[in-house]
Amino acid sequence: MALLRLGLILCCLAVSAVLGNEIQNPDSPFGVVCPWTGIGDSGIGWVRCGAGCTALDWGAINKARGVYDWTEADKEVESTYGKEKADLLVILGYTPRWASSGPNGENNYPPKDLSDWSNFVSEIVARYKNRVKYWEVWNEPDIGFWQGSIAQYAELLKSAYVAAKKSDPTCRIVFGGMAGVNLPFLQRVYELGCREYFDVMAVHPYQWGETFDDEWFAAQLCELRKLMMRWGDAEKEIWLTEIGWSTGSPGIDEETQSNLLAQAMVITRTLQDIKVSKCFWFSVKDWGGPGYGLIRSDGTQKPALLAYKEVIAHLAGAKYIRSYGKDGVRCHLFAKDGLQMLVVWSRDKSIRKFPLPQGDWVRYEPLGGQVTELCGQSEIEVGPRPVLVYGKSQLASNADGERRVAGRLEVMSDFPGPQGRSEPAGRLRKRMAESFRKDIWYSIQIPESTTRLWLSRRNPKETPIIAEVHNDGVSPVIVELEARVGAFRTRAWTTEPIRPGGKATVQMYLNLPMGYRLPCDTLEVKGRANGVTIPETRMQVRIADGPVIEFLANSTLEGKYLVECEGTGCAPSVRFGGTWTYRFDLSGVKEAVVDLCVGAHQANDWTVLVSRDRMQWQTLLAGKSNRGWQKADLTPYAGGEVFLKFTGNDQQLSELVLMTKR
């Protein structure tokens, strides 16, 4: 019996060893997008996969409702985690054709039934919980990869969080990596009550030039941290789940790509103060020609992969101390293995003389180059390829140094356009720290015509506050909700218990007086399920006398109004370029005012034209400035269709708000 018991124990231990039950490279900041044989030899600790590009895609696994084929997904997990010894960040997505709400079953549309999504999340997290601990909810949900609304993404995120935590309470949910540092999008998601429903923030801070603008890069991430702090998320890590440069882009040859990779990875390690902790290069391989890959289409290695290996070899385990440099030279000081290490490069492509700071420097080497003894040299030549200098210096103190984020993290309150009431940040953070029951959640329904809820002064029946309440718990619940704007409150509750897996609609009407003059204010919705607090929603709403249309540029909603986009492009929440036109229906409207966050790159000329018929145009607004808020009266065009045409020299628009009165 003792031998049998011992045999069973050894068998269990063997199975546990095969499955794995912990993160293998928790401290590694270095990742890559898409798995590839041999990645483990490079020292890269993390691989991002799933969602359309690998076998871990929802549609590839979940062939029909309740039907799962794990064959290829199992192989991918075994190869990456087991053979390559890399940890996985799995992107949850994209929608299978059978589950899609898209007109032709497109995979970038929300699922028709959210339970299909939550069932898949529950299944995949349960299956791989001994190997995968980090799950990213969709990819770039702020642009075309997601054809739902911001509110629908909030529902997707909440549902995924609850389903995943049920299957593996120790897993971590990563926010869907945004295309760039898209603060307006993130602000909306926070307002929709999602702060409790993710553990890690993710962004894709791409640049496209042949030199790396590290100051802009760091400033953008500092602004992201400020917004997170505003919502009580000072402690959550920030992961850069995509960054890269393509050798198919003008000015980016393979050597330039390798230099940019090295610079970006070094800068990322200097942002630990704001908890930027991991960076994933996009991507592992080129497909069909020169691209972002570390490996060419024919399977041969690019210089970028060699540079990545060198960066990892030198920076793995290194502690960032401070930044130093001037006259176009970047210099960052690290400590490792009892020595100090300077990482130095020229910000542009020029070769510059760099005077070494006072200290005992013993050797230097260009990344991937030969080691050279310094022998008392006081300066070295540097170019765009980082040079590593080892020794001891007197720069260890930050007192005289340039700490990258110092003085930039004052907490902000960000709401575009005219301001309403806001809550002091300290009180907000204290309130956000409370614990909640998260398996009962609700979604405030936003009208399809706009990205932000609006409330009517004239008739509360015109703008009900509608909440769709979901019970992802295990027992029936009665849910009570209370909505408040300023001193005005209303309350409602579900008429009967919501069964597990079910949902119910709660509708509330808020009576605001005609004399309520704030153009926007804070709507606060609190709830209790069977007497237990559930996460609240706190959002800025428009207060108006008629329908409001509001959208972020480059959003799914914008496409409903866009009728022309000649020679334009999109960045996160910004449309830019030559000429584009929107159409709005002002039938039944007596008055209309439009607010635009508009301008032009480098303060160039910009113009906004207006027309009833797209034949005869008049100038509505014009200027020569960077983006800023502008207001114009559209009342002369009320009662029918109106068209707004944007034209100029690299004109830019980030947001539009059209308020009306009937």
CATH, residue 463: 2.60.40.10
Instruction: List the CATH number of the domain containing 574.
Output: 2.60.120.260
Nearest in space to 239 (alpha carbons), one of 200, 205, 274, 194 = 200
Shared domain for 248 and 145, answered yes or no, is yes
Q: Distance of alpha carbon 274 from its chain centroid, rounded? A: 16
Shared domain for 228 and 199, answered yes or no, is yes
Report how far residue 384's alpha carbon sits from residue 255's, in angstroms, rounded to the nearest whole number.
10
Instruction: List the CATH number of the domain containing 70.
Output: 3.20.20.80
Residue 516 is predicted with a pLDDT of 87
Residue 395 is predicted with a pLDDT of 72
In contact, 4 and 253? CB cutoff 8 Å: no
Residue 425 is predicted with a pLDDT of 52
Residue 397 is predicted with a pLDDT of 52
Shared domain for 162 and 286, answered yes or no, is yes
Report how far residue 542's alpha carbon sits from residue 519's, in angstroms, rounded to the nearest whole number.
6
> What is the extent of the structural domain holding 453?
434-544
Q: Which of 544, 576, 601 is the last residue of a domain?
A: 544
Distances (CA, A) of 252 to 211, 287, 492: 9, 17, 59
Side-chain-side CA neighbours of 269 within 13 Å: the count stands at: 28
Report how far residue 431's alpha carbon sits from residue 428's, in angstroms, rounded to the nearest whole number.
5
Shared domain for 344 and 306, answered yes or no, is no
Q: Which of 393, 424, 448 is the last residue of a domain?
A: 393
The verdict on whether omega for the bond into residue 94 sits within 30 degrees of 0, i.e. cis, is: yes
Query: What is the number of helices (H) and of strands (E) in the chain?
Result: 11, 35
Report how far residue 72's alpha carbon sits from residue 91's, in angstroms, rounded to the nearest whole number.
16
Query: Number of folded domains in the chain?
Result: 4
Shared domain for 364 and 503, answered yes or no, is no
Shared domain for 213 and 301, answered yes or no, is yes
Report how far residue 99's alpha carbon sits from residue 121's, in angstroms, rounded to the nearest whole number.
14
Shared domain for 341 and 285, answered yes or no, is no
Instruction: List the CATH number of the domain containing 343.
Output: 2.60.40.1180
Shared domain for 107 and 236, answered yes or no, is yes
What's at 366, amino acid-wise? P
Report how far residue 505's alpha carbon sits from residue 442's, in angstroms, rounded to the nearest whole number.
9
Q: Report residue 25: phi and psi, to 5°.
A: -130, 60
Shared domain for 561 and 518, answered yes or no, is no
Nearest in space to 189 (alpha carbons), one of 241, 231, 222 = 231
Residue 648 is predicted with a pLDDT of 87
Shared domain for 277 and 342, answered yes or no, is no
Shared domain for 276 and 346, answered yes or no, is no
**Any domain includes 17:** no
In contact, 90 and 136? CB cutoff 8 Å: yes
Model pLDDT for residues 76-126, shown as the tens digit of each residue: 999 999 999 999 999 999 999 999 999 999 999 999 999 999 999 999 999
**Any domain includes 6:** no
In the predicted model, residues of the chain with pLDDT beneath 50 are 1-19, 398-424, 429-430, 432-433
Q: How many CB atoms lie within 10 A of CB 609?
A: 19
Residue 403 is predicted with a pLDDT of 47
The residue written with tokens 């005609």 in the block is 514
Side-chain-side CA neighbours of 510 within 13 Å: the count stands at: 26
The residue written with tokens 């590694």 in the block is 28
**Any domain includes 70:** yes
**Any domain includes 1:** no
Report how far residue 440's alpha carbon sits from residue 442's, in angstroms, rounded to the nearest whole number.
7
